[in-house]
Structure 1
Amino acid sequence: MGSEPSPPQLLPPPLPLRTERLVLRTVVASDREAIGDYCAKPEVTRYLPFPALDDEGLTKRLDRLVAATAPSTVGEFLALAVEFDGVLVGDLMLRFSARHGDDAPPSIAELGWVFAPEYAGRGFATESARALIDLAFGHYPLHRVMAQLDPRNVASAALCERLGMRHEAHTREDFADRDGTWGDTAVYGLLRREWAAL
């Protein structure tokens, strides 16, 4: 009896990505101070799945981000540092979350983002997330890109809408928050054909 076929290996993404104002590149160990600065702020991590990071938490997160350079299968992700004029202003994630068939490449991915609050309001999140969506559909064989967020995070909800994503669902009390209370989830999605029409 033979083993089950494995999904085809995906090529590493063509990095860095350059937009009008930004450079999106892999995360490196020397990004520790900048990432640690904004991820230590409770107002930044308020709606994220991790609390404000202490030194140990930062080490674990940075190790994961630095290693996330060439995802190929479900569960793996790509992490990108976002630079403006040589300064790291945030980071993005594209995580493969599902595939259509056991031997198929990933077909659905989830977007995520974290930005330093002092750079808010300048369009950096929109510009960089749009570039990541273009990479998601232009480089990978994805059918759908999605984002899941706390509905109280109105800034991220507005970002999803600026990216052309549709508000598809609002599930009630489906995750346990860090303080022990139950929280809701808002789901936004964008299909390949919708992206192509943007």
Structure 2
Amino acid sequence: MPADRIDGLRPSYPVRTARLDLRPHRRDDLADLFAFHSRPEVVRYTPWPVRDLEQTRVALEAKLDRHTLTEEGQWLVLAIELRETGTVIGEVLLKWASRADRQGELGFALHTDYHGRGLAAEAAEAMLRLGFDELGLHRICAVVVAGNTASARLLERLGMRREAHFVHNAFFKGQWIDELVFAFRDDEWRARRDR
């Protein structure tokens, strides 16, 4: 798909997977978001700190309109709702990094009570599908703080390859950290999808 054909992403919601509904955030998600935004073990590798209820409310307000991509540089930020209970258990993100180069970036955070069930992978795979099949991206990367082995393993299970290890690449939560970059190209995605 030529770069000039990419005109944004306006998904139909919810984006359904086997067990999840990915959807725009709503104000009534506050208690569910606070349940994991307030946990040190969840935010250890995220760019935000442990949040109290008011900080979570402010963060939620900023997410309410991030359900379409209309220009490069924007993030699509969706709530991960466990369909069985209607509980928001995490968030999944897709950045439209470049129109000309057809680049994107994937991100996710999940409440620790729901780790180990394949739910983050299910949500991330749905976002890859949106990025490649609907937005028309050529390459999607994910940047992981070195030491976040659970996320690195998840990305590898999705078929993303580790492309880089940057040493002391970012000043993160008061210290210099290494970052790992994983990526997937559209041809690799299609080959995996068609298997």
Structure-1-length-normalised TM-score: 0.89
**Residue matched to 1:194:** 188
1:185 pairs with 2:183: no
SS of 2:137's partner is coil
State the Cα distance separating 1:59 from its structure 2 match. Answer: 2.5
- Determine the C-alpha separation between the residues in 1 that align with 2:178 and 2:7: 35
- Determine the C-alpha separation between the residues in 2 that align with 1:18 and 1:79: 15
State the Cα distance separating 1:172 from its structure 2 match. Answer: 0.5
* Amino acid in structure 1 at the alignment position of 2:74: E
**Residue matched to 2:92:** 92
Counting matched residue pairs gives 187
SS of 1:67's partner is coil
Alignment RMSD:
1.6
1:113 is matched with which residue: 108, 111, 115?
A: 108
Q: Where does 1:1-198 land on structure 2 (aligned, <5 Å)?
A: 9-84=7-82, 85=84, 86-100=86-100, 107-179=102-174, 181-198=175-192
Deviations 1:166-189 (A, max 9, x none): 00000010111212x211100000
Deviations 1:93-117 (A, max 9, x none): 111112327xxxxx11111111110
State the Cα distance separating 1:136 from its structure 2 match. Answer: 1.1
SS of 1:38's partner is helix
State the Cα distance separating 1:10 from its structure 2 match. Answer: 2.2
Contact in 2 for aligned 1:68/1:77 (Cα 8 Å): yes
State the Cα distance separating 1:22 from its structure 2 match. Answer: 1.3
Structure-2-length-normalised TM-score: 0.90
Deviations 1:129-148 (A, max 9, x none): 11111111111021111100
How many percent of aligned residue pairs carry the same amino acid?
35
State the Cα distance separating 1:8 from its structure 2 match. Answer: 6.4
Query: Structure 2: where are the runs of 5+ without partners?
Result: none
* Amino acid in structure 2 at the alignment position of 1:166: R
Deviations 1:70-114 (A, max 9, x none): 11212211111111111211110111112327xxxxx11111111
SS of 1:53's partner is coil
